[in-house]
Amino acid sequence: MDRRNLLALAVSPLLPLPRRSGFKVGDWVRIVALPSYTAAWSASRNHDLQRHAWVLRRCLGGRYPVVYVGDDGRPELDVSRDIVGYSISLDLECVVRAPFLDATA
């Protein structure tokens, strides 16, 4: 192994991962599917997991703004207009880009 490969291996954890989703803060998305773990969380004895599963089901089909995008590209959504003080992070397969509705038109 030459020096360039060793340098690339050493520096690679320091480089940011590219955002695969293309979402950015301020985008609007629609929740079109529930994560696969939602059913298991609903059946759990843990009340926090049950509440989170309830929030996910309640928000299905809604449009929400992106407030943060993680290093893996997963958007975090502000759902506080439906559930006070709550935000959720979803898999990319569960959301699609939704156009911003112009209220003045």
In order of 2, 27, 35, 69, 102, the CA distances from 41 in angstroms are: 49, 28, 10, 24, 36
Per DSSP, 42 falls in state H
- Determine the straight-line distance between the first and last CA of the chain, rounded to whole angstroms: 62
pTM confidence score: 0.70
Residue type, 32: V
pLDDT at 4: 56
pLDDT digits (tens, 9 = 90+) for 51-77: 999 999 999 999 999 999 988 889 999
pLDDT at 76: 92
Alpha-carbon distance of 62 to 86, in angstroms, equals: 14
Detail the DSSP E strand segments found in 16-86. Answer: 28-31, 63-69, 75-78
Alpha-carbon distance of 37 to 52, in angstroms, equals: 11
Q: How confident is the model at residue 100 (pLDDT cuts 50, 70, 90)?
A: low
pLDDT at 22: 81
- Centre a 10 Å sphere on the Cβ of residue 65 and count the other Cβ atoms it contains: 16
Q: How confident is the model at residue 82 (pLDDT cuts 50, 70, 90)?
A: confident
pLDDT digits (tens, 9 = 90+) for 9-55: 565 555 454 445 588 898 999 999 999 999 999 999 999 999 999 99
